[in-house]
Amino acid sequence: MTVKAFGETDMYDVIVIGAGHAGCEAGLAAARLGKKTLMLTISLESVAMMPCNPSIGGTGKGQLVREIDALGGEMGINIDKTFIQSRMLNATKGPAVHSPRAQADKQRYHEQMKHTLEKQENLILRQGEVTELLFEEPLRVTGVRLRTGAVYGGKTVILATGTYLNGRIHVSGFSWPSGPSGLTPSLILPENLKKNGFVLRKFKTGTPARVLSHTLDYSKLLEQKGDGNISPFSFMTDDPGENKRSCWLTWTNEKSHRIVAENIEKTAPYGGYTTGVGPRYCLSIEDKVSRFPDRRRHQLFLEPEGLSTEEVYVQGMSTSLPEHLQLAFYRSIEGLERAEISRYAYSIEYDCLDPLSLTGALEHREAKNLFCAGQINGSSGYEEAAAQGLMAGVNAVRRIDGKEPFVLDRSEAYIGVLIDDLTTKGTDEPYRIMTSRAEFRLALRQDNADIRLTEKGRGIGLASQDRHERYLRNKRETEEEMRRLGGVVVPAREAAEFLGRLGKTSAGTTDAPVTGASAISCGKTTLAALLKRPEVTYDNLREIDRDRPDVLAYARKQAEIQIKYEGYIDRQNKQIEKFKKLESKRIPQGTDYYSLNGLRPEAAQKLSDKRPVSIGQASRISGVSPADVNVLLIHLARKAEGGKRHGR
Partner 1 sequence: MGETIAAVSTAYGEGGIGIVRISGARAGEILGCLFCRPGSPGRGARSPGIGETNAAKTFAFQNRRMHYGHIIDPSSGETIDEVLAVYMRAPHTYTGEDVAEIHCHGSVVSLRKILEKILASGAVPAEPGEFTKRAFLNGRIDLAQAGAVIDMIRAKTDRGYDAALGQLEGRLSAKISDVREILADACAEAAVNMDYPDEDDAAGDEAAARSVEARLTKAKAAMDALIATADAGRLIVEGIRAVIVGKPNVGKSSLLNALLRESRAIVSKTPGTTRDSIEEYLNIKGIPVRLTDTAGIRDAETDLEAMGIERSKDALRKADIILLTLDGSLPLSAADRKIIAELAGRLTGDRADSECGTVIAVINKRDLPEAIDRQALALLLPGVAMVGVSAITGEGTEEIEDRIVSAVYGGKARKGESVMVTNAAHKSLLLRAAASTEKALEMLRIGEALDFVETDMREAYDTLGEITGQTVTEGILDRVFSKFCVGK
Give the residues lining the site for partner 1 (CB under 8 A).
Answer: 59-60, 89-90, 92-94, 96-97, 99, 281, 299, 301, 434-436, 439, 441-442, 534, 565, 568, 571-572, 575, 578, 581-582, 585, 595, 597-598, 600, 615, 619, 626-627, 629-631, 633-634, 637, 645-646
Q: Which is nearer to partner 1, 87 or 484 (CB)?
A: 87
In b/e form, how buried is each residue of 185-203, taking b as 16+ CB within 10 angstroms?
bbbebbebbeebebebeeb
Q: Peptide bond before 240: cis, by omega within 30 degrees of 0?
A: no
Nearer to partner 1, 4 or 645 (CB): 645
Closest CA to 20 of 76, 100, 75: 75
Strand 11-17 versus strand 37-41 pairing type:
parallel
Least distance (Å) from partner 1 to the CB of residue 634?
Answer: 6
Secondary structure of residue 644 in the 3-state scheme: coil
Least Cβ distance, residue 43 to partner 1 (angstroms): 32
Q: 411, 579 in Cβ contact below 8 A? A: yes
Q: How many CB atoms lie within 10 A of CB 398?
A: 19
- Cβ proximity to partner 1: between 19 and 615 the closer is 615
Angle at 89 between CA 83 and CA 95, to 5 degrees: 120
CB of 272 to partner 1, least distance (A): 30
3-state secondary structure of 80: helix
* Cα angle: 125, vertex 128, 131; to 5 degrees: 130
CB closer to partner 1 out of 92 and 521: 92
Query: In degrees, to the nearest 5, what angle opens at C-alpha 297 toward C-alphas 293 and 301?
Result: 130
Nearer to partner 1, 521 or 597 (CB): 597
601-610 helix and 626-640 helix, angle to the nearest 10 degrees:
70
* Shortest distance, position 441 Cβ to partner 1, whole Å: 7
Nearest to 459 by CA among 412, 420, 410: 412
> Which residue lies nearer to partner 1 by CB, 182 or 598?
598
User: Considering beta carbons, is residue 183 or 633 the nearer one to partner 1?
Assistant: 633
Question: What do you get for the CA distance between the two ends of the chain, in Å?
Answer: 44
395 vs 406: CA distance, rounded Å: 6
- How far is the C-alpha of 445 from the C-alpha of 146, rounded, in Å? 43
Torsion of Cα atoms, 231 then 237 then 242 then 245, to 10°: -80
Least distance between partner 1 and beta carbon 28 (Å): 29
Instruction: List phi, psi (to 5°) of 169.
Output: -90, 140
For residues 67 and 628, which CB has a smaller minimum distance to partner 1 in the complex?
Answer: 628
d(CA 348, CA 52): 11
For residues 276 and 47, give the distance between their C-alpha atoms in angstroms, rounded to a whole number: 26
Decide whether 149 or 626 has the Cβ nearer to partner 1.
626
Instruction: Note whether 55 and 101 are within 8 A (CB).
Output: yes
Given a contact cutoff of 8 angstroms between Cβ atoms, the answer to whether 97 and 90 are in contact is yes
CB of 599 to partner 1, least distance (A): 8
The answer to whether 123 and 39 are in contact (CB under 8 A) is: yes
Q: How far is the CB of 628 from partner 1 (least distance, A)?
A: 9
Closer to partner 1 by CB, 214 or 571: give it: 571
> From the CB of 598, what's the least distance to partner 1, in Å?
3
Give min distance, CB of 507 to partner 1, in A. 13
Between 483 and 581, CB nearer to partner 1: 581
Helix (H) or strand (E) run with residue 200 in it: strand 200-207
In whole angstroms, the minimum distance from the beta carbon of 619 to partner 1 comes to 5
DSSP string, 16-45: EE--SHHHHHHHHHHHHTT--EEEEES-GG
For residue 203, give the 3-state DSSP assignment: strand
Write down the H helix ranges in 147-205: 188-195
- In the bound complex, what is the minimum distance in angstroms from residue 601's beta carbon to partner 1? 11
Q: CB nearer to partner 1: give 135 or 440.
A: 440
Residue closer to partner 1 (CB basis): 505 or 573: 573
Q: How far is the CB of 498 from partner 1 (least distance, A)?
A: 20
Cβ(185)–Cβ(355) under 8 Å? no
Residue 630 Cβ, how far from partner 1 at the closest point, in Å? 5
Least Cβ distance, residue 585 to partner 1 (angstroms) = 7
Nearer to partner 1, 195 or 571 (CB): 571
β-pairing, 174-177 with 55-57? unpaired
CA dihedral sign of residues 170, 383, 441, 396: positive
Query: Minimum distance between the CB of residue 172 and partner 1, rounded to whole angstroms?
Result: 28
Of 256 and 617, nearer to partner 1 (C-beta) is 617
Q: Least distance (Å) from partner 1 to the CB of residue 423?
A: 20
Q: Distance between CA 277 and CA 201 in Å, rounded?
A: 9
Rank residues 144 and 631 by Cβ distance to partner 1 and give the closer one.
631
Q: Is the dihedral of CA 118, 122, 123, 124 positive or negative?
A: positive
Cα torsion 359, 360, 362, 366 to 10°: value is -10
